[in-house]
Amino acid sequence: MTHTLPVARTLPVTHTLDGLLGRTSMYRLVLNSLIVLGVVAFILSFTGTLEFPAADLGASLLIVMVSTVGSNLLFALLFRVHPHPESSVITGLLLWFILLPTSDPKLLLQVALAGVIASGSKYVFAIRGRHVVNPAAIGALWLALFEFDVLGLWWVGTKYLVVVAAVVGFLIVRRTRRVALVATFLVVVVVVTMARLLIDGGGIGASLEYTLLSTPMVFFAVFMLTEPLTLPPTHRQQLVEAVVVGVLFAIPITIAGYSFGPETALVIGNLLAFALGQRSGIRLTLTGRRAAGGRATEFEFHSARPLRFVPGQYIELSVPHARADRRGSRRTFSIASPDRDPHRLLVAMTMAPDGSTFKKSLGAMAIGTNISATGIAGDFVLPVDRDRPVLLIAGGIGITPFLGQLDGLAGGSRYDVVVVYVQRDPADLAYLDLLDDSRARVIVVTSTPATELPPSFENVIGPRIDRTSLAAAVPDLERRDVYVSGPPAFVDVVSRLAADLGATRIRRDHFAGY
């Protein structure tokens, strides 16, 4: 069945902020943001705006980077794992912004010790290959616990650097889609700190200025709290951690002569996150790959240890390779397999000649090769109540998180499911056989007629999906749980369309970088 509907060109195609951010990996974006912040710090130091001499900044930076990166390479050799240089550079820069800048040789030794401890924590304080606490925080905490002279001063919390941290932080939060996490933490810190200062007799204006411009809360929230490997796996758990860490961050606490600093608050939050259900590291073996339709390729992995996941969740794969481009060697992918076999994992991605070095390395990888993955996480899962009708809207390769969910429908699920699959070029349509087997109502939106669709599919012709065509295709949209997956711009626009049409339960899965 084919329908040609008026479809507005409402989605930005190129040069959008999300498109630009999606062209680089999260690690590279954080690294570049820290470099920008560091350059500004040196400029402020040279102009006398920052109280620390440039010589102290430079000496501390050199020592912390050499100790952190160098020790990371040594630990990797000792534990026989592939090092992640970008991660260790980020850890070193974070420590640099935390510890007291100095050029005193004795104090620089303590800075070097913090770098070694931070790197070592990734291997020693780890469960099955995944570190439990933020490395930079544990490096600073170790010095504080044993009363070293180089304490966690968090000198980055000055008003000029706070402004820069807020600007680059916006980009990072936009890229990671962790607005709720960061906002919750910041609100808790501001409210608790303001209340404490007002109770102590401070004025509202002075208290607010101090809270916003003289604490490292913005830097802490953006660069430390959002560190993905130490976050709990679900959105609600992450918000719980944000509240707990925010309270500990804002209230001065002293126990047995030890005063809690931001690093203490974060480590406690990391331990809470682990207790709430932090997944451990995973070792996978590539067992096969196949064309899934269009430009999509499916990769099959075997895990010797049973995996626990719910269809719709995601996993981060690590594929170390030479001359990695700016997208890096780690990427997150939605799990495309059903949960029937806990040892089998499927992921799918679009492969193109000009694709990232990550995809090229994975595409050329020999069958039987072992790779590592971080924990499984995410909340993009179907409602527990199977009587609730759902609408799944996919843009391009955004169809992948729905594959495991739809696979279960063929087994007799009671879900009332409508799938809207938007793919501009009909030749790029993938997994049509699985969609057909699911017995869901499937609406395919393409710019030109799709001639090889199963008979039960409906084909809407148009360059984009708009409010009119979405309402016509799914007239009962307002009563459905809506799930939208695909490129960030697509997800944001379609989510707004669904909300305009009366949907009140909308979940989003942004595929940045695809």
Q: What is the pLDDT of residues 293-326, one digit of tens each?
A: 888 899 999 998 898 888 899 988 888 777 777 6
Residue 73 has pLDDT above 50, yes or no: yes
Beta carbons within 8 Å of 89's beta carbon, 6+ residues apart: 31, 65, 68, 69
> Residue type for 397, please?
I
Beta carbons within 8 Å of 378's beta carbon, 6+ residues apart: 233, 234, 312, 313, 314, 334, 509
Do the domains at 282-373 and 383-510 have one common CATH topology? no
User: In the chain, what percentage of residues exceed pLDDT 90?
Assistant: 46
Burial 452-472 (b: 16+ CB within 10 A, else e): ebeeebebbbbbbbbeebbbe
Q: How confident is the model at residue 249 (pLDDT cuts 50, 70, 90)?
A: very high
**Average pLDDT, stretch 217-235?**
89
Q: Can you tell me the distance from the alpha carbon of 495 to that of 234, in angstroms, rounded to the nearest whole number?
A: 21
**Average pLDDT, stretch 58-77?**
95
Q: Can you tell me the distance from the alpha carbon of 246 to that of 298, in angstroms, rounded to the nearest whole number?
A: 41
Q: Can you tell me the distance from the alpha carbon of 305 to that of 417, in angstroms, rounded to the nearest whole number?
A: 33
Q: What is the pLDDT of residues 365-414, one digit of tens each?
A: 999 999 988 778 888 998 888 888 999 999 988 999 999 888 866 555 56
Look at residue 472 in the predicted model and tell me its pLDDT: 87
Classify 383-510 by CATH class: alpha beta
Query: Beta partners for 258?
Result: 255
> Domain extents for the chain?
25-275, 282-373, 383-510
Beta carbons within 8 Å of 40's beta carbon, 6+ residues apart: 160, 161, 164
CB 487 within 8 A of CB 403: no
Residue 64 has pLDDT above 80, yes or no: yes
Q: How confident is the model at residue 246 (pLDDT cuts 50, 70, 90)?
A: very high
Residue 13 has pLDDT above 70, yes or no: no
Look at residue 356 in the predicted model and tell me its pLDDT: 79
**Average pLDDT, stretch 58-64?**
97
Q: Is 447 left (phi over 0), alpha (psi -120 to 50) or beta?
A: alpha
CATH code reported for the domain at 282-373? 2.40.30.10
Look at residue 415 in the predicted model and tell me its pLDDT: 74
Q: Can you tell me the distance from the alpha carbon of 64 to that of 98, in angstroms, rounded to the nearest whole number?
A: 11
Q: Can you tell me the distance from the alpha carbon of 180 to that of 242, in angstroms, rounded to the nearest whole number?
A: 9
Q: What is the pLDDT of residues 420-479, one digit of tens each?
A: 999 889 999 999 988 988 889 999 999 888 888 999 999 988 777 888 888 988 999 999
pTM confidence score: 0.78
Residue 278 has pLDDT above 60, yes or no: no
Q: How confident is the model at residue 280 (pLDDT cuts 50, 70, 90)?
A: low
Q: How confident is the model at residue 33 (pLDDT cuts 50, 70, 90)?
A: very high
User: Helices 135-145 and 85-98: crossing angle, nearest 10°?
Assistant: 40
Q: Which two tokens stand for residue 31?
A: 């690294």
